[in-house]
Amino acid sequence: SAVISQKPSRDICQRGTSLTIQCQVDSQVTMMFWYRQQPGQSLTLIATANQGSEATYESGFVIDKFPISRPNLTFSTLTVSNMSPEDSSIYLCSVAYRDSPRWNEQFFGPGTRLTVL
């Protein structure tokens, strides 16, 4: 499986600011996703990061709040904009390889723990 890194690993931010989270994979992957895991909760998919085009957002998540970029097959960013304490969460990227025998298995990065004051 791929080696996935995320930066930053954690951050404490002030209300009203924005934070950009980076996800880097050591090999080319077909699919990249962004999830949120709120304290004590399970994972919720925010969006699919599409290479070279706009991300596909899930219900309840909008581009103005969570802009996503994916300039190539190994890198994506998620920005949490105009943050409020309700955005305090762990943000995780995941990857999948469409062309592999285990094509629909997803592997997660280490996560970014965000606290908004």
Partner 1 sequence: QKEVEQNSGPLSVPEGAIASLNCTYSDRGSQSFFWYRQYSGKSPELIMSIYSNGDKEDGRFTAQLNKASQYVSLLIRDSQPSDSATYLCADETGFQKLVFGTGTRLLVSP
Q: Which residues bind partner 1 (CB under 8 A)?
A: 1, 31, 33, 41-45, 48, 58, 90, 92, 96, 98, 102-111
Q: How far is the CB of 23 from partner 1 (least distance, A)?
A: 12
Q: Are strands 112-116 and 10-13 parallel, antiparallel or unpaired?
A: parallel
Question: Residue 14 or residue 101: which is nearer to partner 1 going by CB?
Answer: 101
The nearest distance, CB 5 to partner 1, in angstroms, is: 11
Q: Specify the residue, 18 or 56, whose C-beta has the smaller distance to partner 1.
A: 56
State the minimum distance, in angstroms, from the CB of residue 16 to partner 1. 28
- Select 14 or 104, whichever has its Cβ closest to partner 1: 104
User: How does 19-45 read in b/e, with b if 16+ C-beta sit within 10 Å?
Assistant: bebbbbbeeebebbbbbbbeeeeeeee
Asked whether the beta carbons of 87 and 114 are under 8 A apart, the reply is yes
Q: How far is the CB of 93 from partner 1 (least distance, A)?
A: 9
Which residue's CB is nearer to partner 1, number 19 or number 32?
Answer: 32
Encoding tokens for residue 42?
């399970």
